[in-house]
């Protein structure tokens, strides 16, 4: 994680003000919050200021937003320096590439993505490429760990990346094109990389079951079938039978030692087969 400080004085502009259009938007945004809670609009206003200024938020912009919301400048500095969505230095005109370097992404090859950034953009993070079009930095988890390794550029994420994918993405940005966002390996969203193994009925997703209750019933039946398949030992196959290959099982459970099965069958109080209470962690938020 890099140290996040405001840009040096020589890079700061004299002043900042929203355009008429952005000012109108800002007033409407502030009005969405209850009386006395206008400071809650600080993040959307800072983001709009960043977009207006070409990808980074200057100290005058932070003070301007603070004045609009009745906040002391230090309160705005705290927010802008905490969230890596806010850039504190001028960044590449076409793309500022944020490479996630947290454990899941690092284990899946983030270091090789960083090597590409060093070679294609600049050896050091937060430096502009020779053309001024690109810059990069390493950031902490962006909440897309299932699709590691990944990068974020502005509000978009590019996931399941190989170094070759990143080269193509950089090529596209250099040409002024918009690369395809999301997973780069063909999977949709964060589905299993091996393909769907449950809830595969297309009518579950095409809207045809809306309001009929059939979708829920079908989903329950699929889940129950999967659970039943896990709970029961596989039947012995007749030696001579030419059985068709079994379909891949969803979330196959690891084999349990016979002793544990015996204890569980007897209803022992020591059984470890109890479902754990739900996690109290909030759902991860995936950047849009
Ligand atoms: S560790 Fe990279 S997105 Fe979470």
Tens of pLDDT along 52-85?
999 999 999 999 999 999 999 999 999 999 999 9
Does 167 map to a domain?
A: yes
Does 14 map to a domain?
A: yes
164 CB burial (10 A radius; 0-12, 13-18, 19+): exposed
Provide the domain count of the chain: 2
- C-alpha 99/C-alpha 150 separation (Å) is 7
Final residue of a domain: which of 158, 183, 208?
A: 183
Does the pTM surpass 0.85? The reply is no
Does 270 map to a domain?
A: no
Going by C-alpha positions, the residue among 56, 60, 55 that lies closest to residue 17 is 60
Range of the domain at 72: 9-82
Does 204 map to a domain?
A: no
* Predicted confidence (pLDDT) at residue 181 exceeds the cutoff of 90: yes
Q: Give percent of the chain with pLDDT exceeding 70.
A: 79
Q: Could you count the other beta carbons within 10 Å of the beta carbon of residue 195? A: 9
What pLDDT, on a 0 to 100 scale, did the predictor assign at position 176? 96
Distance 100 CA to ligand 1 centre (A): 6
Q: What is the CATH number of the domain that holds 65?
A: 1.10.10.1590
68, 117: one domain? no
150 lines ligand 1 (CB under 6 A): yes
Distance 148 CA to ligand 1 centre (A): 6
99 lines ligand 1 (CB under 6 A): no
- Ligand 1, atom nearest to 149 Cα: 2
Distance 7 CA to ligand 1 centre (A): 27
Final residue of a domain: which of 23, 51, 82?
A: 82
- C-alpha 38/C-alpha 31 separation (Å) is 8
What pLDDT, on a 0 to 100 scale, did the predictor assign at position 209? 78
* 191 neighbors 200 (Cβ within 8 angstroms): no
Does 284 map to a domain?
A: no
- Ligand 1, atom nearest to 100 Cα: 2
Distance 102 CA to ligand 1 centre (A): 6
| Position with higher pLDDT, 280 vs 153 | 153
Final residue of a domain: which of 163, 183, 203?
A: 183
Confidence of residue 232 (pLDDT cuts 50, 70, 90): low
Confidence of residue 244 (pLDDT cuts 50, 70, 90): low
120, 152: one domain? yes
**Rounded average pLDDT over 149-175:** 97
- Ligand 1, atom nearest to 142 Cα: 3
157, 104: one domain? yes
Does 234 map to a domain?
A: no
| Position with higher pLDDT, 167 vs 227 | 167
């Amino acid at each position: 994680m890099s140290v996040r400080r405001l840009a040096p004085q020589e890079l700061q502009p004299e002043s900042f003000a929203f355009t008429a259009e952005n000012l109108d938007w800002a007033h409407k945004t502030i009005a969405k919050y209850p009386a006395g809670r206008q400071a809650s609009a600080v993040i959307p206003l800072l983001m709009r200021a960043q977009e207006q200024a070409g990808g980074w938020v200057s100290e005058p912009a932070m003070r301007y937003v603070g004045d609009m919301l009745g906040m002391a400048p230090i309160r705005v500095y705290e927010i802008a320096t905490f969230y890596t969505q806010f850039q504190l230095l001028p960044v590449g005109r076409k793309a500022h590439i944020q490479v996630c370097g947290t454990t899941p992404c690092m284990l899946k090859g983030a270091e090789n993505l960083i090597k590409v950034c060093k070679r294609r953009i600049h050896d050091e993070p937060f430096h502009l490429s020779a053309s001024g079009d690109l810059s990069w930095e390493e950031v902490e988890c962006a909440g897309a760990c299932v699709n590691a390794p990944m990068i974020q550029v502005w509000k978009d994420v590019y996931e399941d990346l190989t170094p070759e994918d990143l080269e193509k993405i950089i090529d596209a940005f250099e040409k002024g094109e918009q690369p395809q966002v999301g997973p780069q390996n063909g999977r949709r969203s964060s589905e299993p990389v091996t393909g769907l193994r449950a809830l595969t009925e297309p009518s579950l997703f095409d809207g045809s079951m809306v309001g009929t209750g059939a979708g829920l019933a079908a989903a329950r039946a699929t889940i129950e079938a999967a659970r039943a398949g896990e709970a029961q030992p596989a039947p012995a196959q007749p030696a001579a039978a030419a059985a068709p290959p079994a379909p891949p099982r969803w979330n196959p459970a690891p084999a349990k030692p016979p002793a544990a099965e015996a204890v569980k069958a007897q209803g022992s109080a020591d059984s470890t087969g109890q479902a754990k209470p739900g996690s109290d962690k909030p759902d991860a938020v995936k950047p849009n």
